[in-house]
Structure 1
Amino acid sequence: MDAFVKRVRPSSRALLSHLDALLVTERMALLSGRDDEFVWEILKRWTGMRSGEIHGLETRYLINTGHPHRQLMQVEWQLTEVKSKPVRIAPKDESYRNIDIPLFLWDLLTGQVARTRPQPCPCHGYRYVFTGNVRRRAVGNPKGATQAAVAKRAGVSERAVKVAFAGGDGLSEETRARVLAAADEIGYRLEAARIPRVLIDERLGHEDGSVQANYTHITDDMRDELVEMLTARWFEALDARLAMCPTSPVRVLNELLQARARNRSPLVAA
């Protein structure tokens, strides 16, 4: 009998489906009992914004450009916590940037503002879209979206990342969620979807000093293709969630499901 036994290669599985992201987000909102938790997490997963940048997002940085398929969001500040007090600082590495957002995400954000009617905060006098927890996450690797970078971002081993991506056993739900969130934060999913690296870097606030980056420029077609891809993935996830159950105890998601069930798009220009 041969001493060497060839191991069977495990079947390949998707990194993280958008339905998975939607279900995790729904659970977060359900546990907290807050609609803003749902909008906050969807914004993070569909843009790759850092937690501090989302907390520092002011209502004036939601820009209605009049474009038929996308709107604009500016990243100008982030909030961090120092001695239990929120401190307003520049984005990491001063990565000021504009982010193109699909209309479904624009609706969620403007709906959040309409529901909460933000007032000037007592600490800075600005109107923030979100007024919740200001915890920051760990700093990641801006040089590329690799499994090693995901592991570093999430604070786990590369093996744990592989297990999380494959959907295998052996990880707690908290660790799996942290790994998948880290993958979104550094653009791993966008690279898997073959989005141009130069557009990923702009969206996430990363810098690429390579010669190739100097000769690669972002075009309107690139932006349109990215928004079209994100929109398609969003509605695929929404349809899959609708097939599971036509309602949700999370109000904002329930409204989206009801609108989708009536074969009427929830995208309404603000």
Structure 2
Amino acid sequence: MGFGEKRGDYYRARYWIAPGVLRTVVDPNGATVRYSTKRDAAKAANDHEAKVRQVGWRDPNAGKETFGEYVNRWYAAQDLAASTMQNYKRHIEEHLLPEFEAKAIADIQSTDIGAWEKKERALYAASSVKTWRGTLHLILADAVDEGLRDANPATKRRGRGKRAGRSRNRGPEKVVTDALGILLVAERASLLSGRDDEFVATVLKGYTGKRWGEIVGLETEFVRPASIRVEWQLYELDTGELHRCPPKDDSYRTVDTPAWLSGLVAGQITRTKPKPCQCHGLTYVFRGLGPANDAARQVGAKLVDVARRAGVSTGTVSNVLNRPASVAEPTRIRVEIAIAELGYVRGGSSGETAAHWRRNGFATWLFQPAATGWYPKKAPQAARPVPVLADPWPGVPARGRGAQARADACWVPIAKGLTPHGLRHTHKTLMEGFRTPPKLMDERMGHIDGSVQARYSHITRQMREDLMANLTAAWEASLDARLAMCPTSPVAVLNDLLQERLRALR
């Protein structure tokens, strides 16, 4: 029902064109009509609302709102996960507004979107452009629902009569590995980090299919004797904040774990004795690697500042700190004076280890070199093999200056292109090989099958026991294969597992 709304010394007529969508009565030029009484305004509003109810009516002012104005209103109305809101904001601000901000919603045509997409594809990956177009489609679909447009110009006709075109932009299939691959990648990642955490986390991911955020956000209270409960994840926002939020698509679940895997995780907790982190006040199974972010960002002199003050290279400053005898005395004294004058504190004042892994740091500098045997490109250095000392096998990464010259060998690839998320695909692939019932696979992966078949199938205890037995057999076979390569490992937790397996075989 329309109504009159007081606006200073006049009334304006307001009427509804859709649930939650109000309009104001305007003249042919688009200016608000001013009424002297509330009754006159209400009558005009009701007359316009009656027209709205007529079949085929369309708001004459629909779509005149610019894309920029509409998308601001649209974004403010969303109530989604912080990660989703962050992604929408990035898509809108960096890719949609620069092109469509000043265009009226009703004036955006499919040809405009096609031209924009062509420009974007020349600069960015096709998969990224597809994602941004999906966001644009969603925004314009809501504009259609509000009556601002008759149709969505971002909708694509499927196939377009070209059979080959359907797969032209499809990404490559995800790289997976097998049980032995999981073990070997986990061992190498642990050798690169110099601790057992990465071994346990990689094996846990490969044998449970948990998402990355669920591994990082695994709290000790959700580790059970024969299962792990997925209640939370830590999602890394663009600001660097690790946001504690429910698992993706609210996929709360209990993931069964074989006895050997439960023991591996329990041993990790016993060995590291984790304490509550400062960011969330909660106790997590796994710790980060490297200095804490707050320590790294502390205000104060850095190594490069000392080098500039003393007029030497950062390498010379490093030598003064680590091998002072190798530096000429006048240079050493000059560096020490610069350190004293600037108040430089080596390694930061806190010396704390980061509370949590960062996705890029783990994937780029631990997982990728472990899987491929190569460090990625980082200016000024090109991509290069991981230099290793041959003894003990499988080789300990050589570090520091002259590492390439001191190395005896380098690692061969285990699975080129494998990513941490690829271990989730690996776990699903392993279960397919075990002929695991689809219902149980969906439960472990946190997926929902809405089909009638899924509704009428159920998980039994025997199904769970069979899967645990198959996972255990795969794990023991990978240990046997690793024993055949070498009966020992520089990774302490793996070495203990190998010796235990060796005793069991004897």
- Shorter-chain TM-score range: 0.7 to 0.9
Deviations along 1:69-92, one digit per CA (max 9) or x if unpaired, are xx0210000001121121101100
Question: Which amino acid letter does the alignment assign opposite residue 359 of structure 2?
Answer: R
Q: Distance in 2 between matches of 1:111 and 1:20?
A: 22
- Tell me the distance in 1 between the aligned counterparts of 2:358 and 2:229: 19
Q: Deviation at 1:193?
A: 2.0
Residue type at the aligned position of 1:135: R
Larger radius of gyration: 2
Letter aligned with residue 270 of structure 2: A
Matches within 5 A, 1:184-203: 184=426, 187-203=428-444
Say yes or no: does 1:117 pair with 2:117: no
Stretches of structure 2 lacking an aligned partner (at least 5 in a row): 1-175, 289-356, 361-412
Distance 1:107 1:264, change over 3 A: farther
**Residue in structure 1 matching 2:229, options 74, 83, 91:** 74
The 3 A distance-change label for structure 1 pair 253 and 224 is: same
Q: Distance in 2 between matches of 1:182 and 1:227?
A: 17
User: Is 1:59 matched with 2:220?
Assistant: yes
TM-score, length of structure 1 as denominator length:
0.73
Question: C-alpha distance in 1, partners of 2:228/2:481?
Answer: 28
Between the aligned partners of 1:174 and 1:243, the Cα distance in structure 2 is 20
Compute the TM-score of the two structures, normalised by the length of structure 2: 0.40
| Counterpart Cα distance in 2 of 1:264 and 1:116 | 30
Aligned equivalent of 1:268: none
In the alignment, which residue of structure 2 is the partner of 1:164? none
The answer to whether the aligner puts 1:183 opposite 2:183 as a matched pair is: no
Q: Residue 134 of structure 1: CA displacement? A: 3.5
Q: For the Cα contact (< 8 Å) 1:80–1:134, is it kept in 2?
A: no
Matches of residues 1-270 of structure 1 in structure 2 within 5 Å?
16-64=177-225, 71-82=226-237, 83-132=239-288, 133-135=357-359, 175-178=416-419, 180-181=422-423, 183-184=425-426, 187-263=428-504
| Cα deviation code 1:83-141 (max 9, x no counterpart) | 112110110000000011001100110000001101111111111001221428xxxxx
CA positional deviation for 1:175: 4.0
Q: CA deviation at 1:192?
A: 2.5
Shift in Å at residue 183 of structure 1? 2.3
Cα distance in 1 between the residues matched to 2:179 and 2:444? 18
Residue identity opposite 1:181 in structure 2: L
Compared CA separation, residues 74 and 180, structure 1 to 2 (3 A): closer
What's the secondary structure of 2:278's corresponding residue? coil
Q: Distance in 1 between matches of 2:505 and 2:430?
A: 28
1: distance between equivalents of 2:414 and 2:182? 13
Give, in whole Å, the separation in 2 of the partners of 1:263 and 1:221.
26
| Aligned-pair Cα RMSD in Å | 2.0
Q: Measure the CA separation in 2 of the matches of 1:177 and 1:38.
A: 16
What SS does structure 2 have at the residue aligned with 1:88?
A: strand
The separation in 2 between residues aligned to 1:173 and 1:257, in whole angstroms, is: 20
Percent identical residues: 51
* 1:17 to partner: Cα distance: 2.8
* Kept in 1: contact 2:177–2:426 (CA 8 A): no
8 Å CA contact 2:235–2:244 kept in 1: the answer is yes
Distance (Å, rounded) in 2 between the aligned partners of 1:219 and 1:253 = 33
Q: Which runs of 5+ in 1 are unaligned?
A: 1-14, 65-70, 137-171, 266-270
Deviations 1:27-52 (A, max 9, x none): 11111212000000000000000010
